[in-house]
Amino acid sequence: MQAKDIMTTTIVSIDPACSIRHALNLMLDTGVSCLPVVEDVDRLCGILTEDDLFTRKEVDATLPGKAEPVKDLNHYIHSRSWCVGDAMTCEVVTAAPDAPITSIIGLMQQHHVRQIPIVRENRLVGIVNRRDVFRTVVNSARDVIAAGDDAVRLAIKTRLRSDLGLDCDKIDIAVENSQVAITGGVRSELERKAIKVLVEDIRGIGGFIDRMHVTGGHA
């Protein structure tokens, strides 16, 4: 799945010449946590986030430190100007429409951002936020397998080996009318729970009966 599959294409954006007051009202009215800043024809030039607004003098009570004068002046302008172009973040982390979702998540984690604007030739075409990512988790189907008890049993055995590296000869997997029962010894409660999670993640099962017991080790 790629960014274009989950991105929001109805984007609430703002012009850099607009006022901070207008930006705040726009964010409050639409419920968004950031505003991509665009000029010309959807050319992305920055982003105004909640973090940018939290540094404003009206809400930030921290005193200026002993930074270099130029840094103090930049912070002064950023926190006091009523122009979006002065308060926005100019260095925007972006991604292409064909970027994998895993790449989008990686960018969010690496740069500690909540949203990634999606651009094509520097033109804003969408935005992916954490809610979009969470929505894919909610809507994702469990592993699809062929119907039938034998197919379910084979899928479980295959996943136990590939995902958990377990020797299926030491446990018995019984499937009847899509009900799965696993009997045998496992090394720890953690391994037991991992097997349960694996089985319940497979589409086609109608229930799970845990008849496993811990033979050694702790979790």
Kindly indicate the confidence band of residue 60, based on its pLDDT and cuts at 50, 70 and 90: low
CA-to-CA distance for 82 and 94, rounded, in angstroms? 25
Same domain (yes/no): 106, 15: yes
Residue of 64 and 38 predicted with greater confidence:
38
Residue 98's SS3 state is: coil
Looking at the structure, tell me whether residues 23 and 106 fall in a common domain.
Answer: yes
**7 and 114 part of one domain:** yes
| 108-135 pLDDT, tens digit each | 999 999 999 999 998 999 999 999 998 8
State the average pLDDT over residues 99-107.
93
The CATH number that applies at residue 185 is: 3.30.1340.30
Segment 47-53 mean pLDDT: 93
Last residue of a domain, one of 94, 117, 139: 139
pLDDT at site 93: 96
Q: How confident is the model at residue 219 (pLDDT cuts 50, 70, 90)?
A: very low
Residues 104 and 62 occupy one common structural domain: yes
Spatial separation of the C-alpha atoms in residues 219 and 208, rounded to whole Å: 22
Range of the domain at 38: 3-139
